[in-house]
Structure 1
Amino acid sequence: MTIEVDDDGTVRASTPEGHRSPRARTRLDGVDEQLIRVFDRWLARTADGWARDDVSAFGSLLFRALLDGDTWDFVLHRCDELLDGQRLRLQLSFPATPVGRQLAALPWEYLHVPDGTGTFLGTDPRS
């Protein structure tokens, strides 16, 4: 599945079979963008390791910025359709623009589902 951010700041999930989520707006602006930049710099500078709660907060902020709402509902629906042993691969796609390159440079491997399960998407057994 591809999560694609367009030049206009909209995001959409799509499957190789042609299923698509409704378009949603990213929250990669304003205070959210500022906080993401602060966390990103903080992660790069912290030499003594990171507290799980701090990394979860950062990952949840990334999640909210990119996957909140209809896009995440679409991904969850596809996960529910997986058969035993099947996995869902998420691929992020950003535009080839200066803003797209800045977004692509963020550490998306920290994406964290803020639903209380403590799930980082990179370690979810379904992905």
Structure 2
Amino acid sequence: MFNLSLLRQFSRLAICPATKIPISRRNITTTAAVQFKITDQLWAEPMKKKKKIDPAIVKAREERRRKKLEKQIRRLEKNARQLKPIDEMEVPLELLDNFSKRKRPQPKLSAEVIEARALLQKDWA
């Protein structure tokens, strides 16, 4: 293979470290200077071989996972049946305290009005 130090010496591209590259001070730009660099090799070891697991253990794990999911679904269904109280539907305590003051008396209806309403009800139905 190539010797990295030899490659760094003879390369025409800016392969040397950024401190050795002459950069013009009058150059006005908003982007960084493009520099090519060579990194050293990263030595990695081969991947570990997967261990073979007993199929019974795999099946037991899947069974446990399935039971856990079923239990969560049952819990969600159980809670879905319970109605949650709505704050807007609750009457404020002030209004409950003043209920007797706010209650209107039923108007006295004359016989003619009752008769007229009954006739309207019959016509409507």
TM-score normalized with structure 1 length: 0.17
Write 1 or 2 for the structure with the bigger share of strand: 1
Q: If each structure's helix is expressed as a fraction of its own residues, which one has the higher value?
A: 2
Max radius of gyration: which structure? 2
